[in-house]
Amino acid sequence: MLSSPRLLLALAFIEGATVMAVELLSARMLTPYFGAGVHVWGAVIGVTVASLAAGYYLGGHLCERGINRQKLFFMFLISSAFMMLMPMEAKTLIASFADSPPLPSVVFIAALLLVPCLGLLGATPVMIIHLLAESTQDSGQTAGNVYAISTIGGIISTMMVGFYIIPEFGITSPTVILALVPGALSLILLLMSGKVIALAFLAVLLFGFLSTKNRTPRSNVKVHYNSEGLLGQVMVADAILPGMANRIMFVNRMGQTYVDLNTGESRWSYVNYITSLSSSYPENSRALLLGLGGGSLARSLSGILGFELTTVELDERMSLLGKQYFGLQHDINPIIDDARHYLESTKDTFDIIIIDVFKGEVPPAHVLSKECFEKIKTRLAEDGLLLINFNGFLDGEEGRAGRSLYNTLVDAGLQVKILPTYEPPKYRNCIYVCPMSKYRSENIRYPLMQNDGALDLATAYLQEDAVQFTEAPVFYDDRPLLEHFNVASARIWREEYKKTYTDMFAAKGIELFE
């Protein structure tokens, strides 16, 4: 068995599968704290490639010095040990770098998580090729076979881990159990070779299983729901703060739905602003809501305004949680689809289209491009209305995305006005109001109430001289600058949530991931 070429090819398959599992799982470990933006995925992918490159070099160096199968088995055993400790290590490192700048922190943490494990795994294909080539003259074919089998292992692992294992079982337990595959096999092979020292792996195994035990939350936080998935971590929790009792749906620890626990009403003012803007249309108007979340806006559009509502939501968990925890009407059943794909495929037209799409702090670039807005124009009635909910920044570095969004809408041939909610920029939303013809503000059925009475929306728009964003580039499909431009504003949003909720949750015993 120890000398079988089939065993070495099986190890190549396991190596490829383990590499992809480590990459996906490590990214999901980082997103609840650092977000799911391009900087996190860039750090993970970049460090993964660098680790594998270092591993290839290490493997070549070891082959030059002479290797045997026992050394190969030890490489798998040690890399398995590093993988098994990743969940515990990630939580410790994130806590240690809580007060450091996020970008260098995420790169450094990714390096500490990935380099030891993937560096060793990267060396194993080179060693396998060397061992197999000793019994054949065709080293090129041998190398091709090993990397092909390794790649197949990676493809299968990506599908299983991404689409089934993480959504069903979370992160910590799957990491430990998946690490057992190369670890247990290499342990058995080493013991069969008389290498009793390999039993030290059992101590690491104990620490790995201890990391799967979560602490019990205490005091003023009650977690109703928590799950992982490719679309992010989703949590529903009640948090009692001084003077406020809140129920919040978090996506990657960023608020997706935020309501008063006692009344069920949204604490976000933009919901009332959009409801008021939309109420200029009569009952039974056809409305399309792209992005459901917990359903606060859908409740208003359907229940208060009486619209014939179509909702599109990419994450199927949202409507279930909305109905269970946020009072979403049971007759609202979203179409599970990507917003852009739905717009491209549907033939229906609507009186109102509302875009309220965020995954945590990250808006999808392909839904806010010029080409998408041109498609939306064909899906709106002649007197239709497009409303877009976006963050509240317009000035400085953090306002780059908002300024470009305005210019993109103008370039797509839409009339545009910006209606900011009443809060300071860090806490407000900006609603981009795009009527296909003259907006009928005189027909509003749901006035927007402020402390001194109903607010005249016509006086709340930004003036024309405040929206002359001549330097802001347009978003195109083949030039998706949105996420890059949104980095500064996303960092501010995440920092606020980190200070208010993430750090408090950690102190109350709620782990960053399960």
User: CATH number of the domain that 142 lies in?
Assistant: 1.20.1250
Mean pLDDT, residues 305-328: 94
- End-to-end CA, the chain: 38
Mean pLDDT, residues 143-166: 93
The length of the chain is: 514
pLDDT tens-digit profile of 393-403?
999 999 999 99
Structure tokens at 235: 């949590």
Residue closest to 354 by CA, chosen among 431, 299, 443: 431
Statement to judge: residues 278 and 349 lie in one domain: yes
Q: Does 480 score more than 90 pLDDT?
A: no
User: pLDDT-derived band of residue 135, with 50, 70 and 90 as boundaries?
Assistant: low
Q: Does 92 score more than 60 pLDDT?
A: yes
pLDDT tens-digit profile of 402-447?
999 999 999 999 999 999 999 999 999 999 999 998 877 777 889 8
Statement to judge: residues 203 and 289 lie in one domain: no
Statement to judge: residues 415 and 295 lie in one domain: yes
Statement to judge: residues 178 and 296 lie in one domain: no
Which range scores top for mean pLDDT: 99-103, 157-161, 503-507? 157-161
Domain boundary among 193, 210, 227: 210
Name which residue leads in pLDDT, 27 or 202.
27
How far apart, in whole angstroms, are the C-alpha atoms of residue 207 and residue 229? 25
Does some domain include residue 255? no
Q: How far is CA 36 from CA 44, 364, 368, 405, 451, in A?
A: 11, 11, 18, 21, 38
Domain span at 16 = 5-210
pLDDT of residue 202: 84
Residue closest to 381 by CA, chosen among 231, 263, 311, 281: 281
pLDDT of residue 405: 96
pLDDT of residue 365: 92
pLDDT of residue 216: 57
pLDDT of residue 502: 86
The DSSP-derived string for 263-282 is T--BS-HHHHHHHHHHTTSP
Domain boundary among 210, 226, 260: 210
Q: In this structure, are residues 291 and 316 in contact, taking their beta carbons and an 8 Å threshold?
A: no
Mean pLDDT, residues 125-148: 85
Statement to judge: residues 183 and 305 lie in one domain: no
Secondary structure of residue 69 in the 3-state scheme: helix
How many domains is the chain built from? 2
pLDDT tens-digit profile of 174-194?
999 999 999 999 999 989 888
Does some domain include residue 215? no
Statement to judge: residues 387 and 276 lie in one domain: yes
Does some domain include residue 301? yes
User: CATH number of the domain that 452 lies in?
Assistant: 3.40.50.150
R_g of the chain computed on alpha carbons: 26
Q: Does 215 score more than 60 pLDDT?
A: no
Does some domain include residue 72? yes
pLDDT of residue 388: 98
Statement to judge: residues 39 and 126 lie in one domain: yes
Mean pLDDT, residues 312-336: 93
Which range scores top for mean pLDDT: 69-73, 428-432, 480-484? 428-432
Give the dihedral sign, CA 355/357/362/366.
negative
Q: Please tell me the pTM assigned to this model.
A: 0.87
pLDDT of residue 244: 82
Lowest mean pLDDT among 106-120, 298-312, 348-362, 458-472: 458-472
pLDDT tens-digit profile of 216-250?
555 668 899 999 877 789 999 998 877 788 999 99
